Amino acid sequence: MTKPKIAILTSGGDSPGMNAAIRAIVRTGLHLGYDMYGIRQGYYGLIWGNNLYYDKNYNFFEKDGDSYYCIDYERKRFLAKQKNQAVKLYNQESTHFRYNNHFIKKGKFLSLDPQLERELEFTSNAYIHQLFQQSVDGIISEGGTILGSARCNEFKLKFYQKMAERNLQKLGIENVIVIGGDGSIRGALALSKLKTLKGENLKVVAIPGSIDNDIGCTAITIGTYTAVNTITNACNNIASTASAHKRVFVVEVMGRHCGYLAISSFVATGADYVLFAESGTVPQKEIKSLIGKIKHDFSLSRQKKRFLIIRSENYPVTSLELKHKLDRAFKNSALKIGVRVTTLGHVVRGGPATSFDRLIACRLGAASVYLIHQNETCKMVGWIGYGKFKRMKEDPGVGYWDIKHVLNETEKIKQNKTPYVANRNRAYHALGMLLSE
């Protein structure tokens, strides 16, 4: 009897702990009697499945039936009338073979002459492959994701969704677990509407993986606290040099639509000020208040040695603009205050996950498989959050929600209209300001 199959993909921005989740999914799935599959490069790999082949010159062809169609860098087939363009592209890597007279017309597209297939030594790119116990040995301590990730706007289109559907049907995969952020979970909703060979909808479960902690319903997303820990360690080092030179440092952290990384690291690093869009303060007034606090902290009565400002990338005044404003404010000051900017960027996203993120990832990973095993679909598992939710009987620390509800709540977070998140922001902000006095 054929075993049921579960495929896993990681999509969008990677986050520390994704590998721990993959490991937990694979081993829980194998324990429950599933064959496990990994999809490389997120939805991009799902679209192309195992239909891309490359030759010894590393030129790619799309296999459809018995034919190898010529494709460009965007994986679009060359039309028959585009032969000169195809030859020019394929001849760029001409170490082993020249293609001048070896393309034929196949319908309205260009295809490779079948007689040359053996000579070119085709290799499958194999985006979808089976995973075993040994496939996930040791990955819990690795950052990033062993499956790779990518942002894939093509998956928004029905044409490419149908390609993904055919690839899953070819392999008999009827269950998919998606790990990622907002865009990835939107993709999971679209994926849940695709059909299996039996004509049933795919069973799909999502896991929130995002360092920004910007996903609705769940209290925390995989990778968030590793990112906060990385920011904290960086600020420890910055504080030393800032104190030595009595300087102001603007430390920019990630947070595209959400200032959680900024406000949580504001408290955790012992910084002196935080700038994030959700504060709701008019930038001109806030910067005036900031200048006043810097003057007070460096005054003879307070005698502070350094001043750290955590700035979220979602704040409307850029770090360089802020530096220029502060430089102008202190240009003629007797305090002689120097201002420096450090952008942590993707450093915050990298590195191995902390024990807390590994623990969350393992629990959410296992829970996602149990949901599929219980015939649940179009759900997201998360660390106990807010509002109404169902608890996993296997792990009462994990809840789950309908994906549509999650996406609605995520939009509210972006607009700062979720009471739970807004109150959390205020609490962190108030605590940080109190502790920085």
Q: Give catalytic residue positions.
A: 212
| Rounded Cα distance, 164 and 109, in Å | 21
Q: Is 328 exposed, middle or buried (0-12, 13-18, 19+ CB in 10 A)?
A: exposed
Helix axes 419-435, 260-269, angle to 10 degrees: 30
The dihedrals phi and psi of 29, each to the nearest 5 degrees, come to -60, -45
Amino acid of residue 25: I
The CA angle 114-120-85, to the nearest 5 degrees, is 75
CA proximity to 39, closest of 200, 158, 212, 155: 155
Single-letter code of the amino acid located at 187: G
Inter-residue contact 323 to 341 (CB < 8 Å): yes
Where do runs of H (alpha helix) occur along 65-125?
A: 83-90, 117-120
Residue recorded with tokens 């590195």:
351
- Cβ atoms 94, 87 nearer than 8 A: no
3-state secondary structure of 183: helix
Listed in sequence order, the DSSP H helices in 73-191 are 83-90, 117-120, 158-171, 182-191
How far is the C-alpha of 102 from the C-alpha of 100, rounded, in Å?
6
Count of CB atoms within 10 A of residue 76's CB? Answer: 13
Task: Report the 10 Å Cβ neighbour count for 148.
Answer: 18
Whose CA is closest to 220, among 354, 317, 350?
354
